[in-house]
Chain A
Amino acid sequence: MINRKISITLVAVVAIAVFGLSVSSERKIIIQLLIQSLMVGGLYALAASGLSLIFGVMKVINLAHGDLMVLGSYMSLGLFNLVGLNPFLSLLLVVPAFFAIGYLIQSTMIEPSMKSGEISAAMLIAFGLSYVIENILSITFTTDPQALHTPLATASYVVLGIRFPILALWIFGAAVLGIVFLKVLLSKSYIGMAIRAVAQDREGALISGIPVAKANAVAFGFGTLLAGVGGTLLGTAFSFDPFTGLVYTLGAFVAIVLGGVGSIEGALVGGLVLGVAQTFLSYYGVGGWTESVIYLIFIVIIIIRPTGLLARVRVF
């Protein structure tokens, strides 16, 4: 399954590259754009893998996911402003803090709201959280765009006249690492197996004595952790403001559906495909229509294949 997905992605990337080459003779630009896509795609992949875990296990439409991501950007910014901590080192604090935030959100707010069985109740909590995060950030940091400045942000290798920004490789590497970590966690650890059991059959898991509420909270914790890491990396690559989150929430759901709901490595594939699509669409003159085109394609895909383009129905 993994091989098939990776080969499909490769074929897609090559197809886009060949198409690009046939249209324009500027090969360098095509390759440069593909490298650029790794950066955006890696960020979407990080957001999507975390959200995929949350959505796959709890079926909660966490519309605050992108806001949690941006909260990660601001945590690194705050640490940099206060004690001059390097944004990449601040990840050491972001990781445990965001696991705790996610764990608490699930156990104190989402879990109680899931009891009524109405998906709109949990969604209302997520909307509320989104308002709270956006406005705490606006009040604390103003709504001005911010960025995390690192020497890495501008550094790059130049090979055969093609620029490889180190940051793009870092972000892509972090996305792969995060997804491998989740895979190992879900397949090898007890709590990971409990999370998979809950995702597959909540009632069956309850009957088998699996601590369902705890598994949910841990799943939400890890999902939020990945969002936080993605947020810090987002800040080193692009500018952000308190309302940047929605774009990443929307992108993450697109990536999940592209890669297959309930598949962690699918989130990586989906994130990359989205990154490539977005980079190329906005470069080749679609301009303001880029997002509309992506969302409309997404709507068509979700209607035709609700469980995702590249996967059959599966749960981790």
Chain B
Amino acid sequence: MRSLLPPLGSRRFQILIALILVIAVLPFLLRNGYYTYLLFLTMIYIVIAVAWNVVGGFAGQISLANASFFGVGIYTTSLIWKATSSPIPGIILSAVTAALLALAMTPFFRLRGSYFAIGTFYLTIAVEQIVNNWSPVTGGAIGIYLPITGSSLLPQYYASYLLLLIAVLVTILLTKSRVGIAMIGVREDEDAARAAGVNALRTKVTSLVISASLTGLAGGIYAYSLSYTDPSSAFSLKWVVISVFPAVVGGVGTIIGPIIGAIFFSLLDQMLSVYGTYQLLIYGVLLIAVVLLLPTGIYTTFRDKVLGRLQTSKKEKVQTSKREDH
């Protein structure tokens, strides 16, 4: 079994440690609340994308229900926060409620491929409708006004950073663990995986529950940064986009792909906000363009084209130098 981290003292290990430390002190270096907020939002996006990658990337189940896990997280935290005037129990319970929803979704795994995607899409819509209509509990379409927090976003920033580290660690652990390998087996060939003794249903449910807990926590921490929420924003189709598509944009089947994809979506949100009414139009055009121009994703294209070329040129150099030796 390979170790989880790059070898101690190697250059990759040093870069990793430096990155972890820089992100930890970044709010103090920037001293700008707005940038801190943008970084916080980007980390939430990354967690959503990394969490989706567990069920969508590893187990290969295109879940459009992750948007509802996020919304359930927002609502769990909001309701408990209002009742107890502390956000922390709510955020922790968000993981539980989202995981319970995922467990209840077990029958969905009778569906394969596109049918699973369609079924889970309707679940997201149905959950939004239920929250919208069940006003005695959820406040209905009017939404919920949340307690006012201090102007500093530092607690939210560090909460999302901790969650990000946990999410990435979970993903790395999965690649080394039996259950993670079972997920990949189910994705590649479910019948073969079954024949090899993998309990396909339990594996898929496990992947969805892990994904849901992380996404629910992200929703809870996100709610902590809000002053108001309502069903149409908590269960917005935007969260379907942010959960499913970073993997496509960044690079399917990699750990870093969804992270790069999520950063892409966060940057897109910020850069396009100046275009006002044209914002979502340009957004749509860019989504189409990125699929057509970089069909294997930003990271994979970069790795294969740029790094690949660098490596081949290195090899060529080695070969030529060998020839000179002779």
Residues of A within 8 A of B (CB): 55, 59, 61, 109, 112-113, 115-116, 118-121, 123-125, 127-132, 134-136, 138-139, 246, 250, 253, 257, 288-289, 291-292, 295-296, 298-299, 302-303, 306
A109, A246, A288: which contacts B288 (Cβ < 8 A)? A109
Give 16 A-B contacts (CB < 8 Å), ordered by A residue: A113-B292, A119-B114, A120-B247, A123-B117, A123-B244, A125-B287, A125-B288, A125-B291, A135-B281, A135-B284, A138-B277, A250-B122, A250-B125, A292-B133, A299-B119, A306-B112
Of all chain B residues, which has the CB nearest A136? B281
Please, which residues of chain A bring their CB within 8 A of the CB of B244?
120, 123-124
Q: Is the CB of A128 within 8 A of B285?
A: yes
Please, which residues of chain A bring their CB within 8 A of the CB of B125?
250, 291, 295
- What is the bound-complex CA distance between A116 and B129, given in angstroms? 34
Please, which residues of chain B bring their CB within 8 A of the CB of A123?
62, 117, 244
Judge whether B73 is part of the interface by a CB distance below 8 angstroms.
no
Judge whether B132 is part of the interface by a CB distance below 8 angstroms.
yes
Q: Is the CB of A115 within 8 A of B295?
A: yes
Q: Given A121-B248, A289-B133, A292-B133, answer yes or no on A131-B284 (Cβ-Cβ < 8 Å).
A: yes
Q: Is the CB of B280 within 8 A of A302?
A: no
A112, A131, A253: which contacts B280 (Cβ < 8 A)? A131
Q: Is the CB of B291 within 8 A of A113?
A: yes
In the complex, how many angstroms separate the beta carbon of A64 from the nearest chain B beta carbon? 10
Contact with A along B242-282 (1 / 0, CB 8 A): 00110111001000000000000000000000000110110
* Extra inter-chain contacts (19) besides given A119-B114, A120-B117, A129-B288, CB under 8 Å: A112-B295, A116-B252, A116-B295, A116-B296, A119-B113, A120-B247, A121-B295, A124-B249, A125-B292, A127-B245, A128-B291, A132-B285, A134-B280, A139-B278, A289-B133, A291-B125, A295-B122, A303-B107, A303-B119
In the complex, how many angstroms separate the beta carbon of B182 from the nearest chain A beta carbon? 21
- What is the bound-complex CA distance between A59 and B12, given in angstroms? 42
Please, which residues of chain A bring their CB within 8 A of the CB of B248?
118, 120-121, 124
Chain B interface category by residue count = 35 or more
Q: Given A115-B295, A120-B247, A292-B130, answer yes or no on A139-B281 (Cβ-Cβ < 8 Å).
A: yes
Interface SS, A side: helix
Judge whether B228 is part of the interface by a CB distance below 8 angstroms.
no
Q: Is the CB of B113 within 8 A of A59?
A: yes
Judge whether B28 is part of the interface by a CB distance below 8 angstroms.
no
Contact with A along B217-252 (1 / 0, CB 8 A): 000000000000000000001001100110111001
Contact with A along B113-132 (1 / 0, CB 8 A): 11101110111011001101
- Give how many A-B residue pairs fall within 8 Å (CB-CB): 124
Q: Is the CB of A61 within 8 A of B107?
A: no
Q: Is the CB of B62 within 8 A of A302?
A: no
- What is the bound-complex CA distance between A115 and B285, given in angstroms? 20
Q: Is the CB of B129 within 8 A of A132?
A: no
Q: Given A121-B295, A288-B132, A292-B133, answer yes or no on A299-B284 (Cβ-Cβ < 8 Å).
A: no
Of all chain A residues, which has the CB nearest B115? A306
Please, which residues of chain B bring their CB within 8 A of the CB of A124?
244-245, 248-249, 287-288, 291
- What is the bound-complex CA distance between A297 and B277, given in angstroms? 37
Contacting residues of chain B (98-150) with chain A, CB-CB under 8 angstroms: 107-108, 110-115, 117-119, 121-123, 125-126, 129-130, 132-133
Q: Given A112-B292, A113-B295, A292-B126, answer yes or no on A120-B284 (Cβ-Cβ < 8 Å).
A: no
Please, which residues of chain B bring their CB within 8 A of the CB of A125?
287-288, 291-292
Q: Is the CB of B288 within 8 A of A132?
A: yes
Q: Is the CB of B295 within 8 A of A61?
A: no
Please, which residues of chain A bring their CB within 8 A of the CB of B129?
289, 291-292, 295
Q: Given A59-B114, A131-B287, A302-B118, answer yes or no on A295-B126 (Cβ-Cβ < 8 Å).
A: yes
Of all chain B residues, which has the CB nearest A105? B288
In the complex, how many angstroms separate the beta carbon of A234 from the nearest chain B beta carbon? 20
Please, which residues of chain A bring their CB within 8 A of the CB of B286?
128
Judge whether B56 is part of the interface by a CB distance below 8 angstroms.
yes
Judge whether B34 is part of the interface by a CB distance below 8 angstroms.
no
Give the interface centre of B111, B115, B125, B288 by most chain A CB atoms within 10 Å.
B288
Contacting residues of chain B (12-70) with chain A, CB-CB under 8 angstroms: 56, 62
In the complex, how many angstroms separate the beta carbon of A282 from the nearest chain B beta carbon? 13
Please, which residues of chain B bring their CB within 8 A of the CB of A288?
132-133
In the complex, how many angstroms separate the beta carbon of A219 from the nearest chain B beta carbon? 16
- What is the bound-complex CA distance between A61 and B62, given in angstroms? 12
Q: Given A121-B291, A123-B244, A292-B133, answer yes or no on A131-B283 (Cβ-Cβ < 8 Å).
A: yes
Please, which residues of chain A bring their CB within 8 A of the CB of B247?
120
Q: Is the CB of B295 within 8 A of A128?
A: no
